[in-house]
Chains A and B, each alone.
Chain A
Amino acid sequence: GNSVTQMEGPVTLSEEAFLTINCTYTATGYPSLFWYVQYPGEGLQLLLKATKADDKGSNKGFEATYRKETTSFHLEKGSVQVSDSAVYFCALGRSQGAQKLVFGQGTRLTINP
């Protein structure tokens, strides 16, 4: 079945550091890939998405590229801020029909000033 494996956390960085959170997936067909973020005390929010191989999703300085050859969708940001502290979830959805999402276990990110 479909599955997502995320880099285990927690991850702690200093402000302005470079961020990578690894995500790999197993899926049949060609899924869509997503990164969701959960800020403290808030619900899940879509951060970015990519719907086909080699697509790059980007938002708020974050980027992720859909790599079919390595079945990966790693999240990157060049210079993190304290306000980026949150839990990040990688997820995949089926390419056809209802897009029930399969999530990774989440990575807690803390940015220190």
Chain B
Amino acid sequence: GAGVSQSPRYKVAKRGQDVALRCDPISGHVSLFWYQQALGQGPEFLTYFQNEAQLDKSGLPSDRFFAERPEGSVSTLKIQRTQQEDSAVYLCATTGGFLNQPQHFGDGTRLSIL
């Protein structure tokens, strides 16, 4: 597709369940970022991939959060044993990988933990 595609758009889960969020990047984009956006706040960095390599995961809030990009294209963000504080919009962004190239954002997945 022409843009970054994220699925599902909305996800409701009960506390303690595991969830998986998917990001389909723009074709050919080698760099992929995940951000978490709490209600009324700006996005906060979670993790970064260059192709299949996860080069920075300093923003992941706990070991319940795990991201992968096994073939250097589609990425999945997994949250295990979800907590209410995990409720947020999760954004994926991709770039061609060159310095100063703008990040293209998907519409996000709104996660609600009951």
Among B11-19, B61-69, B98-106, the stretch that binds chain A is B98-106
Asked if B107 and A98 sit within 8 Å, CB to CB, the answer is no
Asked if A100 and B56 sit within 8 Å, CB to CB, the answer is yes
B50 close to A (CB within 8 Å): yes
Asked if A101 and B100 sit within 8 Å, CB to CB, the answer is no
**B-side interface residues toward A, CB under 8 Å?**
4, 31, 33, 35, 40-45, 48, 50, 55-56, 59, 91, 93, 95, 99-108
Asked if A105 and B91 sit within 8 Å, CB to CB, the answer is no
Asked if B56 and A89 sit within 8 Å, CB to CB, the answer is no
Asked if A34 and B102 sit within 8 Å, CB to CB, the answer is yes
Nearest CB of A to B61, in Å: 15
CA distance A91 to B33 in the complex (A): 15
Given contacts A44-B91, A105-B40, A106-B40, contact A99 B56 (CB under 8 A): no
CA distance A95 to B100 in the complex (A): 8
Pick the most buried of A42, A43, A97: most chain B CB atoms within 10 A of its CB. Answer: A43
Q: Kindly report which residue of chain A lies nearest to residue B91, judged by CB atoms.
A: A44
Q: Kindly report which residue of chain A lies nearest to residue B41, judged by CB atoms.
A: A105
CA distance A97 to B99 in the complex (A): 7
Q: Which of B33, B41, B91, B106 contacts A100 (CB 8 A)?
A: B33
Nearest CB of A to B100, in Å: 5
Q: Which of B33, B44, B59, B106 contacts A43 (CB 8 A)?
A: B106
Known A98-B31, A98-B48, A100-B56; further 7 A-B contacts with Cβ < 8 A? A4-B42, A43-B4, A89-B43, A91-B42, A93-B100, A101-B43, A105-B40
CA distance A59 to B44 in the complex (A): 25
User: Given the complex, which residues of A lie within 8 Å of B95, measured CB to CB?
Assistant: 99
